[in-house]
Structure 1
Amino acid sequence: MNFVESLDKVTTHLLTLLDGPLPAEESRDAFLEEIDKVLQIRDSLLQQLAPPFSEAEMVLGQKVAVASQQVTPKLEIFHKQLKQEWAQIQQSKKTAKAYGQAYSSPTADGMYYDKRN
């Protein structure tokens, strides 16, 4: 199997991974590791490509190019989803911390709460 056929199979596998929704938190790490592994394989195949190409490889290469244009937006969507979830987690941590330490910071109206009572 030549590099273009391998690249086509890897790109197709990557698209099938990205077509589904982002998995639940329990299986998300394995999913992200799989995507990272496929992206690394795909990158190494892209670096190994070198002309001259046959007619069949040219046709397959055009198919891979079209599929590659679909990969980037899907990866960006997953990145946005993960970024939003991370921001929500950080905000909930901040809120929980502020709720737990309600009287540790100065109040807005200048009142002082005595902690000895």
Structure 2
Amino acid sequence: MSSVLTFYDVTQKLIALLEDTGLDRDAKINQVECLLENRQQAMAGIAPPYSDAEMDLGARLISLNEKVTQLMTREKLYIQKDIKDLSIKKESTGKYANPYQSIATDGMFYDKRK
């Protein structure tokens, strides 16, 4: 099997994995890393001259690569949102435990006793 065909197959598997929303995030990330490694190895094996079938696959791969980029960006945004929500939750929990910790004093009526 040619490297272009292998690259195409791995890209198709990667898209299917990224579109599947039912998987656990950690398992999904591990599988994505494995597929990206396989994809990189297949990309290293691609060298000219190309046959007509490989040229057609290459043209399809350009659009598939854009789709992979969009899906990976979406996953990144989901992870960033979860991290942000977690930090907000951590901050609000801290404020609940010690409500007077983050009071800003402007110096006008400063009380030395707390």
Q: TM-score under structure 2 normalisation? A: 0.84
CA distance in 1, matches of 2:104, 2:71: 46
**Poorly superposed stretches of 4+, deviation over 6 Å:** none
* RMSD after superposition: 1.9
CA distance in 2, matches of 1:105, 1:16: 47
Listed as ranges, the matches of 1:54-73 within 5 Å are: 54-73=51-70
Identity of aligned residues (%): 25
The residue aligned with 1:15 is 15
Cα deviations across residues 1-47 of structure 1 (Å, max 9, x unaligned)? 11011111100001101122274xxx211111101111121122112
How many residue pairs are counted as aligned between the two chains?
Answer: 110
2:50 alignment partner, SS class: coil
The residue aligned with 2:80 is 83
Amino acid at match of 1:19: E
The 1:80–1:105 alpha-carbon spacing in structure 2 relative to 1, beyond 3 Å, is closer
CA distance in 1, matches of 2:68, 2:50: 23
The 1:100–1:75 alpha-carbon spacing in structure 2 relative to 1, beyond 3 Å, is same
- For structure 2, the 5+ residue unaligned runs are none
Q: 1:98 aligns with which of 95, 98, 107?
A: 95
The residue aligned with 1:2 is 2
The 1:13–1:104 alpha-carbon spacing in structure 2 relative to 1, beyond 3 Å, is same
CA distance in 2, matches of 1:58, 1:67: 14
CA distance in 1, matches of 2:85, 2:16: 28
Q: Retained in 2: the 8 A contact 1:22–1:78?
A: no
